Structure 1
Amino acid sequence: MDDIVKAALAKWPNVPHCYGWLGLDARGQWFMRDDRIQAAGPFAPTPGETSAANKGSLLRHDKLIEFIHRNYGADEAGQWFFQNGPQRVYVELEFTPYIWRLQPDGTVRAHTGQPAGAVQRCLLDEAGRLYLQTGLGLGLVHTSDMALAADAVDAGTWHPDAVVTAELPTRFGFVRSPQGRLASARAVGEG
């Protein structure tokens, strides 16, 4: 986390959290979601649903993206967020908290640029998407890197196990939609 962010947190510790305004897609791209986009529906449909995604505006500002990457993390409930100064901006995930980029030398890096560490497990879902569990966490292999992934499988380096996409959040301890989780909690509290 950036020092300026730590200082802002110390100075303003009680800034309300922000939900629904930032999303991470299956290609490791960040999207801003204003009120209109949020009202149109979720960032990504729940696996198995056929509703349309409402991603929002693709972020293209390199310095902002680098700032998000440096200040990206998870809370104790498995909700991923970007710490924007004193405000925690929870992230809507299309699939997983990390999107893996495979390197020609066989190493794996997160969409944030962090080294993933050793691959502990390889998973293949019902739609043919490949996931890796690493020391850093669970992530989806970027579609552009599937040829390198196939080489690792063919070489016997990785042995994919079957997995159901909808089971990933519970099994690996992350929340795909903090905004949806908050809405569900509020609905239960009202009922």
Structure 2
Amino acid sequence: MDEAVEHAMKRWPQVPAVFGWLRLDARGHWHLIQRDAPGFNPEEHGRGEPITSPPIIDFIGRNYAVDEQGRWFWQNGPQRVYVSLDAAPLILRVLESVADASKHRLVSHTGYLVNDIQDACIDRQGRIFLRCELGPAMIHDLDLAQLAIDEAQHAPAVDYLWHWDSERHGKQAFCLAVIDDASQHYGFVSRPA
């Protein structure tokens, strides 16, 4: 977290948290939901407006964290802004390795490199989720075609195998069990309240 944010938290510790004002979509884009705007209608305006300013996006990413209940938030100075998640707390992009184009790396929507994949699964919509040192994540849907995924023919309890050739760890294989709900599987809260 930014030093200025930590200082603001100490200076004003009683600022109440807010819910329902910030949303992370399934492609890693932030959306501001202006609930106090005149004529706000949740049905019409509830998805929010995209945040497009690079400095603001970077600031959110540097100050994005999770509480002990699995609720993800942006620490905006002294105020905690809880995030509604369309898919997962982190959205990962698949990028080619700088050193070797045959190898890949995963980078979060907040700009951090993934170093350690702890497990992975697939939901019934075909989305790939995983747990890494940054937290629960989903691979961006536009990058799924870059992944080598096969049906598991020799592992009866597993539905798919993901073969990953990473820049850091080389070749790895992950068993992808099918899950119904990533938030339950990984313990994060999609709609904090």
Please classify the TM superposition score into its range, dividing by the shorter chain length. Answer: 0.7 to 0.9
Task: Please report the RMSD computed on the Cα atoms of aligned residues, expressed in angstroms.
Answer: 2.2
Mapped partners of 2:41, 2:138: distance in 1: 24
User: Which structure features the higher share of strand residues?
Assistant: 2
1:18 aligns with 2:23: no
Mapped partners of 1:87, 1:31: distance in 2: 17
Mapped partners of 1:116, 1:6: distance in 2: 25
Partner residue of 1:162?
Answer: 177
1:40 aligns with 2:37: no
1:100 aligns with 2:115: no
User: One-letter code of the match for 2:15?
Assistant: V
TM-aligned CA deviation for residue 118 of structure 1 = 1.7
Aligned length: 167
The verdict on how the C-alpha distance between 1:119 and 1:38 changes in structure 2, with shifts beyond 3 A counting, is: farther
Partner residue of 1:112?
Answer: 110
Mapped partners of 1:108, 1:79: distance in 2: 23
Q: Which runs of 5+ in 1 are unaligned?
A: 42-52, 183-191
TM-aligned CA deviation for residue 81 of structure 1 = 0.2
- When normalised by structure 2's length, the TM-score is 0.79
User: One-letter code of the match for 2:53?
Assistant: H
User: One-letter code of the match for 2:29?
Assistant: Q
**Contact 1:72/1:83 (<8 A) preserved:** yes
What secondary structure is seen at the aligned counterpart in 2 of 1:22? Answer: strand
What secondary structure is seen at the aligned counterpart in 2 of 1:16? Answer: coil
User: Which structure features the higher share of helix residues?
Assistant: 1
What secondary structure is seen at the aligned counterpart in 2 of 1:10? Answer: helix
- When normalised by structure 1's length, the TM-score is 0.79
1:2 aligns with 2:2: yes
Partner residue of 1:90?
Answer: 82
**Contact 2:74/2:81 (<8 A) preserved:** yes
Mapped partners of 1:24, 1:37: distance in 2: 20
Mapped partners of 1:76, 1:176: distance in 2: 14
Task: Kindly report which structure 2 residues correspond to 1:117-136, keeping only aligned pairs within 5 A, or say none.
Answer: 117-136=115-134
The verdict on how the C-alpha distance between 1:79 and 1:38 changes in structure 2, with shifts beyond 3 A counting, is: farther
TM-aligned CA deviation for residue 102 of structure 1 = 1.3
Q: Which runs of 5+ in 2 are unaligned?
A: 98-103, 150-160, 165-170
What secondary structure is seen at the aligned counterpart in 1 of 2:134? Answer: coil
What secondary structure is seen at the aligned counterpart in 2 of 1:6? Answer: helix
TM-aligned CA deviation for residue 55 of structure 1 = 1.5
